[in-house]
Chain A
């Protein structure tokens, strides 16, 4: 069976028109690549529905399904918003109704708190927020109520027992029916503690129940408090005793989305505190782990290099940097990572930098999205054709190496391109989505605010879908405007109304004093953390020194005009 398959593949390849490099990737090839990505999606998606649904994942080599992270038809939930991004409204609607009927969280399953949050809660939230755009008939209270939101809330509530620890840092695993199992290990990875704020804050803002945001913040604060003297966090921590179990500090596996959510939380909530935390970490990361635009692993207390490796999961970092305006550094690091892709046709889980080769037992590439994700963000910032080239390489590699009759298989070993019988749900949720968005600059996700929707809710008028979507770490987009829709306090509305009256009167009798950022919306927050006074003080001082808002990006420098096609510029300092 296999030889005949490869034969048919080669035939189809030779028939397909090739892109030439001259002129370099311009608009037209990117359109044809976009369509190839679309075809990739449907190849995998249809086989999942056919052979694997309602299991969590498709097993592409044996053409069947298996449950992996629970039993929630995970791939379907994860791929839902990708359907809309590809423009398939009817299938989106169908899946929404299927999920409403079919998914049950009252099951006796031990589920990862982290994975359930990012894939299930995140997927349902974004589907909920996009459902109106997809033509689903929504309730009157939308976006503050709706069946998908209720499902997301239900799923999130199942995770809450994990947060009941002395430190507020959650357990890694929870039983959806019985809560935390007795004898559950208290060791959780850093990312498993700090990757909740985006979903949980959104949930709190939409439902009005602050418990989600509160536990997420408490966990973030606990991590912040336990950072080392040199400002780094380790890899795994005991959530009961707050002792670091694995003391390797880096930006990749085990830590990655913690940093990501500090930034994205700051953006989503306009929260200076989260951003100041990230900037402190960023400083330490640059000081101790960055070498020649690579980021290594160091001992969290001493700062000595413990592993000179690059991990596939670290490739999200350039994208994150571009969100806060550090585009030059982002591009330099990205180009390093791209060389690894060119060497293997994928990113090995671990890549030993000095040796220039994979690390034993870590040669796999489960079709991860991180490098493509960074390419998408960077392409927004630079429009550099190199980024489209990475996209092209990714499409070619994935099609040539991992495409099988039933879908796309994880690459078990990048050295010989052996395949494994697995297709992770993030392939459809993230990899395909980011690839498609890279080649589709006019997608609604890239909306720069020039179009928007106005929704009348029982809470008042609401501007939605004005762009600026914040992707959670499983690539589920959250509309930041939606957070201001539901909990919109009446005082603010009255205040606005009063102010508007001033615009129409001739006499100005009031002095207008602006609200400090710290006073706004963070009142309840500022009280709870034990170390708040000192932190706040420190923050204020920094503030004065840097004299610019933490919630801003630097403008791009002059030489960024020429920093394309691999050209990088050194700082003038």
Chain B
């Protein structure tokens, strides 16, 4: 979002782009003209990713050709394609090394840097993520591993690739194979006839092929070589392939319809396999896995720690058994014929459930006599709960006048609620310390004289009592329960016999239904899922699993459509029977399961806190039980509109008289609340006036949230009884109020005092600044004076300079004039010179003529010599003069240049 220049270059028309680029370059030139431009650096050369001592061969220069070459040496090869910068590759490196150290004698581990752009790997492969793990079984491959990047899972998968087929050599091994919860495919091949029976290779390949499709390896492949063992599952012909199913009838591969190819076998097995219970393994990338699965209907998610390498999984076996029972719809048809005639030892867990079932049946009988019954789980804080915690509450209309004999097919919810009301009134009738017995009582309806209720209570599980919440709540809550019994207002929902989360879900044995085949009999069919809590515990935490438990076992039923979820009490060990009861309780009409409300355990109470932080657990106490007016803010930390209101609520909480008002808030992202207290927008502000807590009011949304508005809102809705005539009590109240007011005013005065002191300080500061400014001004003034003086002297100076300049100029002019004169003079001289030359020439001419005359007049010789000398000296002087003249012209020229 920051670079404008880049986007300009992208999206503007060409002209604009050029302009911008030029401008940028110009800037560059301005600022760094002398520095090197466009310095870049190639990426660093690849180095070892794995240590040299590692059992993994590290081809860090991406030598894919060499990697292919290596493959010929080993039966099983694992390729780890990585990018050295990739966090996931770095994290997976350690896991790969761990696997390699365990399997290096059987498997060749090759790591290839598939990022370096000079390497072969990068040039040939195009990966969208790293690391990528490919496995080869001889020439078969690549099989991509897409499971969790954890050593145990990778090792399991590698082992699967090493031995895709299990050899079933005996009946007991067959039984083991078939009793597994994951679907199994068996092939029968007669090895006596030939070492490579027809179809065997295809079957083997299909086992490998299935690992490609189904990288979790949920379908297991086995091969039977013994005729007698094969007969146990009625396989006679060598080459037949069998898909084992627990609930539905098992299948034999239809050779006549489908071609016998590896792909087809694989496809057939995947399509027809039974999914009684499924592992959910989100891969971490964007996925709709949970969306798709949970939208199918309510789901039971079971979190168990799972080690794929472990030989036995006792807990998993137990869960499988429950799942089998749950899905076993045709009891009469004997869903497991082969298992039953083979199965000699069923686990003891299964046995134990049988007597249970009998007990339940008898109970059902006694209950069904009543036309309309409901199970009530008593909240712990009820006094009765000391002895009993589960009651069967039935409405019986047959005792009275019998207005008609219309059979009520199912319970009217209102009736049950009315019965509950009456029941709580009557609960003192059970106030005897008896446990382990069923105690019944009849009482008349609160609303109708013609009907009466029967309540039979008993203690289901004594150790529940240890989870009773604190003493305080025991004593406080009943009071509220009774105080509101007279009204049929909506607050009754909040009396938490339905939603109270303090009450753990008990395993009730009252349904009379066995879990066997329950999935077909109920209209709330559950899908069962397993999650490895080593990898996916975060989902459990999200559903309310406690963070402190060491044992990472957890079960929850999630109903996405109804937006509810139920959890299995984490204090109970996760075993088959608890799970069964959990499922049963979910399935029955008027399920005793209560919507689980996740709360935030990490709330730390800060000392400075003026706002009370409410959680799911403290909601009721803080809002309903407190004797104050409560202003409750629903917020979420991520919501920008909430966070920017923090300071307003802090101010409000500091302002309101703390004796009468609580300012509270609840983080709705981390704390669930009963439906009636949920909001769909954040922030939401609710006001619960004292004494009328059920009449909460909402701060109107179209008003701005500020201090005056909030105060008005509170004032408007908090009626501190005003119309009544003033009694003593009222006077007392008034004095209390006045005292409050006085203290408020005192606080206010304190504030004002500090404000005054702040103002004083500010004043002082200003004063100081002013005086400093004055000093500064003075200083500046002085400086100005000094500058002016300087200016004057400078002016003088400049005048002087001007004068000297003029003078000099004058001198120069004079000089120039003189020079000009000189030049003129020299010119004159030149002229003279030429004149003289002419003169000389004429004289010479004359001399010659004189010579001639001389020759003729020999006698006159002595006289003419004198003349000759004088003429030669005259020419010599003339010569000298001429040279002088040239010199002066030259100097004149150069001086002229200078003056220019």
Contact = CB atoms under 8 A, between A and B. Distances in A.
B287 A566 contact: yes
B6 A253 contact: yes
Contacts of A527: none
B858 to A, nearest CB: 101
A191 B4 CA distance: 8
Contact of A415 (B13, B117, B537): B117
Interface stretch (A152-160, A223-231, A338-346): A338-346
A66 B751 contact: no
Given A6-B45, A370-B1, A421 B282 contact: no
A313 interface: yes
B638 A67 contact: no
A561 B639 contact: no
Interface in A1-42: 2-3, 5-7, 9-10, 14, 18-24
Contacts of A377: 638
Contacts of A2: 41, 44
Q: Which of B151, B608, B651 has the most CB of A within 10 A?
A: B651
Interface stretch (B265-273, B673-681, B819-827): B673-681
Given A20-B94, A235-B11, A499-B708, A335 B641 contact: no
18 contacts: A112-B4, A235-B12, A256-B1, A268-B644, A335-B285, A339-B286, A342-B130, A424-B2, A449-B649, A464-B647, A468-B644, A473-B2, A481-B646, A499-B708, A506-B730, A520-B706, A555-B679, A570-B288
B707 A513 contact: no
B608 A397 contact: no
B87 A456 contact: no
A21 B667 CA distance: 31
B741 A504 contact: yes
Interface in A259-273: 260, 263-264, 267-268, 270
B91 interface: yes
Contacts of A267: 640-641, 643-644
A404 B151 CA distance: 34
Contact of B88 (A68, A327, A342, A564): A342
A252 B558 CA distance: 39
A327 B7 contact: no
A456 B44 CA distance: 56
Contacts of B637: 380-381, 446, 448
Interface stretch (A87-95, A279-287, A384-392, A528-536): A384-392
A511 B43 CA distance: 73
Interface in B671-694: 678-684
Given A450-B606, A517-B704, A562-B539, 18 more contacts: A67-B31, A192-B4, A270-B644, A325-B636, A381-B638, A394-B87, A396-B86, A404-B41, A421-B41, A452-B650, A460-B755, A463-B651, A502-B715, A504-B738, A555-B679, A565-B536, A566-B286, A569-B290
Interface stretch (A98-106, A128-136, A201-209, A543-551): A543-551
A6 B13 contact: no
A263 B91 CA distance: 38
Contacts of B535: 22-24
B543 interface: yes
A111 B283 CA distance: 48
B1 A325 contact: no
Nearest to B19: A185
Interface in B81-112: 83-88, 90-95
Contacts of B733: 506
Interface in A116-152: 118, 139-141
Contact of B286 (A332, A380, A500): A332
A327 B641 CA distance: 14
A165 interface: no
Contacts of A415: 117
A348 interface: no
Q: List 6 A-B pairs, minimum CB-CB distance, nearest first.
A: A468-B643, A504-B741, A253-B7, A449-B646, A381-B638, A481-B647
A562 B41 contact: no
Interface string B702-730: 11111111011101100110100000001
Contacts of A270: 641, 644, 704-706
A461 B755 contact: yes
A195 B38 CA distance: 31
A504 B657 contact: yes
Given A185-B19, A504-B740, A253 B3 contact: yes
Interface stretch (B63-71, B227-235, B757-765): B757-765
A393 interface: yes
Nearest to A10: B47
A515 B667 CA distance: 27
A342 B129 contact: yes
B669 interface: yes
Interface stretch (A43-51, A212-220, A432-440, A489-497): A489-497
A59 interface: yes
B868 to A, nearest CB: 86
A61 interface: yes
A553 B641 contact: yes
Given A66-B32, A562-B558, A463 B43 contact: no
Nearest to B641: A551
B87 A393 contact: yes
B51 interface: yes
B701 A419 contact: no
A573 interface: no
A401 interface: yes
Contacts of A23: 534-535, 537
B90 A396 contact: yes
Nearest to A505: B737
B580 interface: no
Interface residues of B, number: 147
B284 interface: yes
B131 to A, nearest CB: 10
Nearest to A315: B1
Contact of B8 (A189, A504, A570): A189
A416 interface: yes
Contacts of B117: 415-416
B43 A417 contact: yes
Contact of B669 (A14, A191, A381): A381
A554 B8 contact: no
A257 B4 CA distance: 11
A407 interface: no
A470 interface: yes
Contacts of B39: 59, 61-62, 420-421
A140 B646 contact: no
Contact of A552 (B130, B291, B641): B641
Nearest to B707: A496
Contact of A325 (B606, B682, B719): B682
A275 to B, nearest CB: 9
A322 B641 contact: no
B608 A504 contact: no
A451 B703 contact: no
A25 to B, nearest CB: 9
Interface string B645-660: 1110111001111000
A349 interface: yes
Contacts of A140: 758, 761-762, 765
A350 B9 CA distance: 13
Contacts of B741: 501, 503-505
A566 B285 CA distance: 5
A32 to B, nearest CB: 13
Nearest to B45: A6
A335 B740 CA distance: 56
Contacts of A350: 10
Interface string B546-562: 00000000000010100
B478 interface: no
A353 interface: no
B636 A458 contact: no
B41 A565 contact: no
Interface in A45-97: 59, 61-62, 64, 66-68
A264 B1 CA distance: 14
